[in-house]
Amino acid sequence: MAKSIQAIRGMHDVLPHQSPLWQFLEGRIAGVLAAYGYREIRMPILEMTELFKRSIGEVTDIVEKEMYTFDDRNGDSLTLRPEGTAGCVRAAMEHGLLHNQTQRLWYQGPMFRHERPQKGRYRQFHQIGVETFGMAGPDIDAEVILITARIWEALGIEGLELQLNTLGTPHERAAHRQELVAYLEAHAAQLDADSRRRLQSNPLRILDSKNPDMREMLDAAPSLMAHLGDESRAHLDYVCGTLESIGVPYVINPRLVRGLDYYSRTVFEWVTDRLGAQGTVCAGGRYDGLVEQLGGRPVPAVGFAMGLERLAAMLEELNPEAVDAAVDVYLVLVGDAAAREGLVLAETLRDALPRLQLISNCGGGSIKAQFKRADRSGARFALVLGDTELADGTVVVKPLRSDEPQLAVARSELIDILSSRFPG
């Protein structure tokens, strides 16, 4: 026998028993985004490689070692998107969505990064992301953070910590960079190989290192906070003040620098210690320079993306009862006459109760076999139609998830009974 083909490492199927959880997750998040007036945009999964190099940054883990890049048949270098911001900016520029207007956009879909797979880290994963354009003030920074807080509430996820930092302006970062490089050079002996490599190309990222041997030295490194001008400081204070007045707790983490190069001023992450090493469920910030960097006129922007696999894992642990996977009714049809009549009955019920989830038995089978299928389907009730019921115009209603007794009801009453049990 030929060896069967397996899914690619780090890429997962969402199986039928898991999809109710995903639908719940996506539906609740979309509901919150709609309530804030955000509109969905859908971008292609493939983009020109150049787009990601120019936006995420040449000297980032993503661009240096994680992208799925290949030449297509025309010889163009294409990349499976590792994130959504770059494509969203490209689409917004290309379609004139950024001319003298504000935009509040969201997207969802698969992203691809060739990382080492582990719990919470995959090579194909899914994000829901938000990008806003044309708003320079800190009010929109606060709004996007408040959206994320409301999403946790809508999902019933508790215990996430909001970490906040500012990366200042490019000018402020340049001043800090000089001081930082001098400090790191003075401590070069303690730097690991990765950090030494980044010393000139991207020293800020060294602060983000998880290497415990460098922790103490990095804790004492010069902070960007000291280089902030009045405007950057006021911007951060406004965001913090808004979060405080609305009651969203946060901590300032001066070492939060993000793994993508396009950020300026506000950056934030929501983290948990429940998911092991991959504890960031949502991350984002302001990126005022990106549109210009990609060839447009300067447009301020801020956004975030959340990792759906990580949220699904949290939801499964913290709030599984919120997810309703059950079917309402399984129609058991005993005998040929009932099988034929049952399809008619099922359509009548669907006409009257459009939201009722009803599975009609197909393919015959003994009553025992059909009840087994009914049970597997997760249905709350079985409706039974056999020769006896056909003869006297009734249907048996049998609860499958409780000890309540079954009862035979007249066909003419069935719709009323079901609509009282399953009110739309």
Q: Which of residues 228-287 bind ligand HAM (CB under 6 A)?
A: 259-260, 280-285, 287
Q: Give CA–CA dist 25/126, Å, rounded.
A: 12
Q: What's 288's DSSP letter?
A: T
Residue from the set 122, 133, 152, 330 that interacts with ligand HAM by CB under 6 A: 122
58/324 with CB nearer ligand HAM: 58
Q: How far is the CB of 127 from ligand HAM (least distance, A)?
A: 5
Residue 148 is a binding residue for ligand HAM (CB under 6 A): no
Residue 175's φ and ψ, nearest 5 degrees, are -65, -45
Considering beta carbons, is residue 160 or 382 the nearer one to ligand HAM? 160
53: Cα separation from own chain's centroid: 24
Rounded CA-CA distance 389/401 in Å is: 23
Applying CB under 6 A, which part among 201-209, 231-239, 305-313, 368-376 lies near ligand HAM?
305-313
**Nearest to ligand HAM of 306, 390 (CB atom):** 306
- CA 103, 105, 111, 113 torsion: positive or negative? positive
Smallest distance from ligand HAM to CB 61, Å: 9
On the CB side of 383, CA atoms within 13 Å amount to: 28
Alpha carbon separation from 402 to 40, 327, 382, 399, 405 (Å, rounded): 42, 15, 12, 6, 9
Q: CB nearest ligand HAM: which residue?
A: 307
Answer for which of 168, 303, 342, 378 binds ligand HAM (CB under 6 A) is 303
**Separation between Cα atoms, residue 347 and residue 389, nearest integer Å:** 18
SS3 content of the chain, % helix, strand, coil (to 5): 45, 20, 35
Q: Which stretch binds ligand HAM (CB under 6 A): 29-37, 119-127, 158-166, 200-208?
A: 119-127
Q: Alpha-carbon distance 408 to 417, whole Å? A: 11
Coil, strand, or helix at residue 268?
strand
Backbone angles phi, psi at 241, to 5 degrees: -60, -40
The three-class DSSP label of residue 382 is: strand
Number of neighbouring beta carbons within 10 Å of residue 411: 16
**Residue 85 binds ligand HAM, judged by CB under 6 A:** yes
Q: Which range, of 127-135, 169-177, 319-327, 368-376, touches ligand HAM by CB under 6 A?
A: 127-135
Q: Closest approach of Cβ 81 to ligand HAM, in Å?
A: 10
Question: Does the footprint of ligand HAM cover residue 87 (CB under 6 A)?
Answer: no
Query: Which residue type sits at 211?
Result: N
Pair 160, 148: CB distance under 8 Å: no
- C-beta atoms surrounding 252 within 10 Å: 12
Work out how close the CB of 271 gets to ligand HAM at its nearest, in angstroms, rounded to a whole number: 9
Residue 92 is a binding residue for ligand HAM (CB under 6 A): no
3-state secondary structure of 278: coil
**Which residues from 191-220 bind ligand HAM, rule CB under 6 A?**
none
Please report whether residue 115 would count as binding ligand HAM according to CB under 6 A: yes
Q: Is 138 in the site for ligand HAM (CB under 6 A)?
A: no
Per-residue binding string, ligand HAM, 336-375, x by CB under 6 A, is ----------------------------------------
Residue in 360, 363, 402, 401 with CA at minimum distance from that of residue 379: 401
CB of 121 to ligand HAM, least distance (A): 4
Amino acid at 182: A
Q: How far apart are CA 307 and CA 121, in angstroms?
A: 10
Choices 27-35, 79-87, 174-182, 187-195; region in contact with ligand HAM by CB under 6 A: 79-87
Min dist. Cβ of residue 162 to ligand HAM (A): 13
Helix intervals (H) in 187-223: 193-201, 215-219
Asked whether position 141 contacts ligand HAM by CB under 6 A, the answer is: no
- How near is the Cβ of 227 to ligand HAM at its closest, in Å? 23
Q: Is 378 in the site for ligand HAM (CB under 6 A)?
A: no
Query: Should residue 98 be labelled a site residue for ligand HAM when binding is judged by CB under 6 A?
Result: no
Of residues 55, 79, 108, 127, which one binds ligand HAM by CB under 6 A?
127
Distance CA 40, CA 129 (A): 10
- Choice between 162 and 329, CB closer to ligand HAM: 162
Is residue 90 a contact point for ligand HAM (CB under 6 A)? no
Q: What are the residues binding ligand HAM (CB under 6 A)? A: 83-85, 113, 115, 121-122, 125, 127, 129, 131, 259-260, 280-285, 287, 303-307, 309-310
